[in-house]
Amino acid sequence: MRVADLTLSQSISAQLDQQEQSIATLETQISSGKALNQPSDNPSAVTQVLQLSSQASQLTSWQANAQTASSWLGMGNNALNTVLDQMQSARTLLLQALNQGTQNATTYEAIAQQLQGINADLLTTANTQYEGRPVFAGTSASAQAYDSSGNYLGNSDAPTVIVGPGPGAGQAADLSVPGPQVFGSGSASVFTTLSTVISQLSSGSPTAAGLNSALSALDANISTAEQASAVLGNASDSVTSASAALTNQLTSVQNSQSSLEDVNVATVTTQLDSEMTNYQAAMWAASQAIPETLVKFL
């Protein structure tokens, strides 16, 4: 065989190999729905996809934290609404007790029992849990925020999670507030307020001064709980805003990743049809340009 014929056959053979590879690649893309099935398909695009995948993973982690924070805060806000209702009920009973002209030892005792029930309900609410953790115990590992006597068992640190980029570890979101920020602490706690006035009423002859002092203390407890409610409300708004921003960022990253990874099946199918046509034409050309034995060899 002449050198020219050999060169021509090698050239045609290389072209056919290239077209076969292109056809195989397009068929793989159609079956997988992905433009990138191995690093060699597009090294630059693969690098970008890996970077975007890492970003998506981080955003997804932050979003999960934001959802956790939202659930914690929702539980805390619901509990605080209950606390405020309970405190207002206690206030109504104290005002009733202050109307001493219509009270006697029996009615005082009845009011004391109702306040005792409210105090017990407040303790139950104070020990509200989310996924087995007391919402108002701070970061403490304690199984409860308060004991049966109204003593605080937690600490003063608010639990937090990271919900986005920021200084240090990132943007932190508080999950709750420590119990004393809701119920007061020590002699100023709502549990002490109620226990004291319950004792006075149970005696059958509470003084107006004592009841007024309890009413003032309870008003202070209500104010404390309202401030805590505002803190949790603001925290909820902040988490909602952070979550919305994360959703937008994640969507953008996923769209960018999809534009690099995914294929338009219709477009690729058209390309495959074109490649198949070209391949068949090349095979026909080879049969005409190369001696029959060489064509059979190929």
Cα→Cα distances 215→35, 193, 219, Å: 72, 9, 6
Of residues 265, 210, 235, the one with CA closest to residue 158: 235
Give, as one character, the DSSP assignment of residue 145: S
Query: How many other CB atoms sit within 10 Å of the CB of residue 62?
Result: 24
- φ/ψ bin of 18: left (φ > 0), alpha (ψ from -120 to 50), beta (otherwise): alpha
Phi and psi, residue 181, nearest 5°: -75, -10
Second CATH level (architecture) for the domain 51-258: Up-down Bundle (1.20)
Cα angle for residues 138, 72, 116 (degrees, 5° grid): 65
Tens of pLDDT along the chain (298 residues) come to: 455 555 655 566 666 555 555 555 545 555 555 555 565 556 777 788 789 889 999 999 999 999 999 999 999 999 999 999 999 999 999 999 998 788 899 999 999 999 999 999 999 999 999 999 999 999 999 999 999 999 999 999 999 999 998 888 899 999 999 999 999 999 999 999 999 999 999 999 999 999 999 999 999 999 999 999 999 999 999 999 999 999 999 999 988 877 776 554 445 455 545 655 655 655 656 666 665 544 444 5
Give, as one character, the DSSP assignment of residue 134: E
| Spatial contact of 249 and 56, defined as CB atoms under 8 Å apart | no
- Delimit the domains of the chain by residue range: 51-258, 264-298
| Residue 130, SS3 per DSSP | strand
Cα separation, 78 vs 264, whole angstroms: 48
